[in-house]
Amino acid sequence: MQPMIIHADRAFTPFEEIPDAVIVVQGSGISAVGQRGKIDLPRDAREIEARGKTVVPGFVDVHIHGAGGHDVMEGTPGALETVAATVAAHGTTSLVATTVTASESETRASVAAIANFILDAKQNPARKLSAEILGIHFEGPFISPARRGVHPEKWIALPSVALLAQLLQEARGTARILTLAPELPGALELIRAARESGIVVSLGHTDATYEQAQAAIGAGASHAAHVFNAMRPFSHRETGVIGAVLTSSKVSAELIADGVHVDEAAMRMLIELKTPERVILVSDGMSATGMPDGKYQLGKFEVNVSGGVARNAEGKLAGSTLTLDRALRNMVAMGVPLASALRMVTANPARQIGLGSRKGVLVPGADADLVFLDDKLEVSGVMTRGAGLALAG
């Protein structure tokens, strides 16, 4: 296949800023990145001029339920393709399909269907603009009824190594993250079992005390789901799970930076304490993402979206319609340096799921997942594994 040479005003790897940048794409991967004149370029390449643009790695969303009118739990190729194509237009070039708490049979069927899609796509990768589904994030069913948010109480389950084993069997090697409440009986044993299977354990939808959360971190939990949301609130005498997450260097923290889920001062506190290395911006996006206001499904339950904000019948926040390009702009608008904000949507989430050399970075050998940003940080072009680029503006 003919190689491609992309010229842009600058690139972020994201660890390094390269002025007058050149990126060489061969097939679905990156073969060279550097400053013009400082790297060898292939002959007979197709040249693409991205003047005025900043090239950054494609965004990696480790907590997303749906988009484009579909929920990942539908599990059909059509639904998953729609989700993947919708978010790709916003710069998300890979994602971890996130389940919500549902009946055991429904969860198993969804997991099996998503796994099929992922394994099929590995055999026949899409040669068009589409986010790669990297795996499955189980949000529940082992969560706290007291902090369940909109997850249906009826299907919440106590930690069970046997149930996890069944889900992992359905997932056929595609399970990546398990969000659980560590204060529940049996949680520590479940955390150890998940870690032994290579699953990232995430604290979330939890009423844990500081001590309970610390015990979970000691057992191997290294991630926290949408920090501040669906967690026991922080108090200066009982800091709870938030105190443990904010002060442990072993834990990376998800943040829904839509300006609705978490107040700006709390977002600043999180970034100060975790440092930009351990903050992971997530969308928690549901099916209404990229769609007009109206009624939508999150898993099996109905959600009303008004002004882009998703709530259930009780008025509880039910995921978001955020996309990671907007989350990035929100961070920069708060004064976070672009290089730091970029890490939170690229290298940090990729590293957390063990894909730090293939995703979320512009380095030789990584997938050619590229986002082209204009001077307002709006997405003006996206490439997914070497395909799909159409530059606007």
* Residues 221, 199: Cα–Cα separation, whole Å: 10
Of 240, 281, 241, the closest CA to residue 261 belongs to 281
> What burial class does residue 308 get, using C-beta atoms within 10 Å of its C-beta: 0-12 exposed, 13-18 middle, 19+ buried?
middle
- For 197-263, the DSSP string reads TTPEEEE-SB---HHHHHHHHHHT--EESSTTTTBPPP-SS--HHHHHHHH-TT-EEEE--SSSSS-
SS3 191: helix
* Residues 326, 347: Cα–Cα separation, whole Å: 17
Determine contact, residues 19/63, Cβ cutoff 8 Å.
no
What are the beta bridge partners of residue 295?
Answer: 304
Task: List Cβ neighbours of 219 (8 Å cut-off, separation of 6 or more).
Answer: 182, 188, 191, 192, 195, 201
Question: Cα 237–243–244 angle (5° rounding)?
Answer: 130
| Catalytic residue IDs | 284
Torsion angles phi and psi, residue 225, rounded to 5: -80, 135
Question: Cα 300–350–55 angle (5° rounding)?
Answer: 110
* Residues 43, 23: Cα–Cα separation, whole Å: 14
